[in-house]
Amino acid sequence: MALQDKYKELTDAATAAGVTDLQVREQDNVLYIDGTAPSGAVKDQLWAIYDKIDPNFVSGDLVLNVNVDIAATVTKVKVVTQSSNLNIRKGPGTDQPIVGKAAHHEIITLVSQSSEQWWLVRTDDGEEGYSYARYLEPVTE
């Protein structure tokens, strides 16, 4: 219960921001918060609160797993790497061969979200494969 109190501001904010499927569970001195955020901004807001309660996330007593709900209508994603090209791989894993590259800030087609981490994408040149979802941002038309 102590951990739920410690991170109460975070769970309250999640509820207020409309996070769905919210689950807050404590097990072996770790608090697990799972849910689906309505937007990337809400996810960032929750992480900012986490950083405020536990600066630099050093306590190791929270696993915050809030994913962003991507609408089924989203078909285009923007490459949001820091500056480099994004690898497109044959399969979902960095051990998979690179079959193509997408440029920084290029807008490519989202074929499917095969997992939370790896999305199947296609470039305008027809290169198709898996890219790491962290570097892809949904484009709303």
Partner 1 sequence: MKVTRVLAVMMVALTLGFVSCKPKDADIKTAVEQAVAALPDATGATIEVKDGVATISGIFKDETAKAAAEAAAKAVKGVKSVINNGTIEAPVVAAPVVIAADDPLTKSVADATKDFPTVKAEVKDGVVTLTGEITKPNLIKLMQSVNALKPKKVDNQLTVK
- Residue of 30, 98, 103, 139 that binds partner 1 (CB under 8 A): 30
Classify residue 41 by burial, with Cβ atoms within 10 Å: 0-12, 13-18, 19+.
exposed
Asked whether the beta carbons of 70 and 129 are under 8 A apart, the reply is: no
Asked whether the beta carbons of 111 and 123 are under 8 A apart, the reply is: no
Residue whose pair of structure tokens reads 């569970």 in the numeric block: 25
Cα angle vertex 137, ends 135, 141, to 5°? Answer: 155
Q: Which span (1-9, 51-59, 106-114, 119-127) binds partner 1, by CB under 8 A? A: 51-59
Say whether residue 140 binds partner 1 (CB under 8 A).
no
Q: Which is nearer to partner 1, 64 or 79 (CB)?
A: 64
Q: Which is nearer to partner 1, 59 or 125 (CB)?
A: 59
Strands 62-68 and 30-37: parallel
Say whether residue 49 binds partner 1 (CB under 8 A).
no
Say whether residue 12 binds partner 1 (CB under 8 A).
no
Q: Which span (12-20, 43-51, 69-77, 100-108) binds partner 1, by CB under 8 A? A: 43-51
Return the HEC string of 75-133.
Answer: CEEEECCCCCCEEEECCCCCCCCEEEEECCCCEEEEEECCCCCEEEEECCCCCEEEEEH
String of contacts with partner 1 for each residue 63-102, x by CB under 8 A:
xxx-x-------------------------xxx-------
List of residues contacting partner 1 (CB under 8 A): 23, 25, 27-28, 30, 32, 43, 47, 51, 56-58, 60-61, 63-65, 67, 93-95, 116-118, 132, 134
